[in-house]
Chains A and B, each alone.
Chain A
Amino acid sequence: MMYMPDGTDFTFVCPECAESMVVNGPMRDALIENGCVVCASSVSSQSFSRA
């Protein structure tokens, strides 16, 4: 993955499938909009913490 030097990273932990990954801001927004990329469950902002 290409890291954006000025971006803030978040740790995402899916409440359904327990998948965890570090994501940047645009990916966080995409996950909230589209659901967990692994299991398709809906995702809220509460599933993210500052990495």
Chain B
Amino acid sequence: MSLDQQTNLSSDDVDALLSRHETGVLSLAKADEPYAIPISYGYDTVGGRFYLRLVSTPESEKRAFLTSSPDARLVVQESGEGVYRSVIATGTLERVSTDDLTPERIVQYGQAKRPLFEIWADTKRDLDIQLFELVPESVSGREVRVDLDEDAK
């Protein structure tokens, strides 16, 4: 019988996990309506912030959720070899206007690699791409280990 072990990740482990991934699932809440989308992000370990590019069209459901600064929850996870890790960051998603850009922010967005919209057929000119920052109020990570080798030893 395998025994599942669950531990909390240290903040260094959380930073490392967030740094080695670049996609997650972002959930937004408006009133009592939930909305979840896959997103790509850049993560700044120093400032503990996420930098996101989100694409929406005027009719899209996403647009409706992004009009105000919504409460957001970002989940990033990984699994393999009997171990499952997930990090959950909660906070407010703030729109970044191009008027508020600084050289530092340009660098951070430069590190937000492989935006998901690059695989879209539309040209970038036709997309409405908006910049956001998620400054988490809380970040927590968990690791669950299932000892797959127990019987082989």
Q: In this complex, what residue of B is CB-closest to A1?
A: B99
Binding-face segment, B2-10, B25-33, B80-88, B125-133: B125-133
Listed residue (B105, B106, B110) with the most chain A CB atoms within 10 angstroms of its CB: B106
Task: Report the separation of the CA atoms of residues A36 and B98 in the bound assembly, to the nearest whole angstrom.
Answer: 11
Known: A21-B101, A38-B131, A40-B115. A16 touches B106 (CB 8 A): no
Q: Nearest Cβ distance between residue A30 and chain B, in whole angstroms? A: 4
Count class of interface residues, chain B: 20 to 34
Count class of interface residues, chain A: 20 to 34
Q: Are B127 and A17 in contact (CB under 8 A)?
A: yes
| Chain B residues closer than 8 Å to A35, beta-carbon distance | 110
Q: Does B103 contact A (CB under 8 A)?
A: yes
| Chain A residues closer than 8 Å to B111, beta-carbon distance | 34
Q: Does B95 contact A (CB under 8 A)?
A: no
Task: Report the separation of the CA atoms of residues A26 and B113 in the bound assembly, to the nearest whole angstrom.
Answer: 22
Report whether over half of chain A's contact residues are helix, strand or loop; otherwise say mixed: loop
Q: Are B125 and A38 in contact (CB under 8 A)?
A: no
Q: In this complex, what residue of B is CB-closest to A33?
A: B110
Q: Are B112 and A40 in contact (CB under 8 A)?
A: yes
The residue from A27, A34, A38 contacting B129, defined by CB atoms under 8 A apart:
A38
Q: Nearest Cβ distance between residue A3 and chain B, in whole angstroms? A: 11
Chain A positions within 8 Å of B, measured between CB atoms, are 1, 16-19, 21, 23, 26-27, 29-31, 33-35, 37-41
Beyond A30-B107, A41-B124: 19 further Cβ-contacts under 8 Å? A1-B100, A1-B102, A17-B129, A21-B98, A27-B101, A27-B103, A29-B103, A30-B103, A31-B106, A33-B107, A34-B109, A37-B98, A37-B101, A37-B106, A37-B110, A39-B124, A40-B53, A40-B110, A40-B115
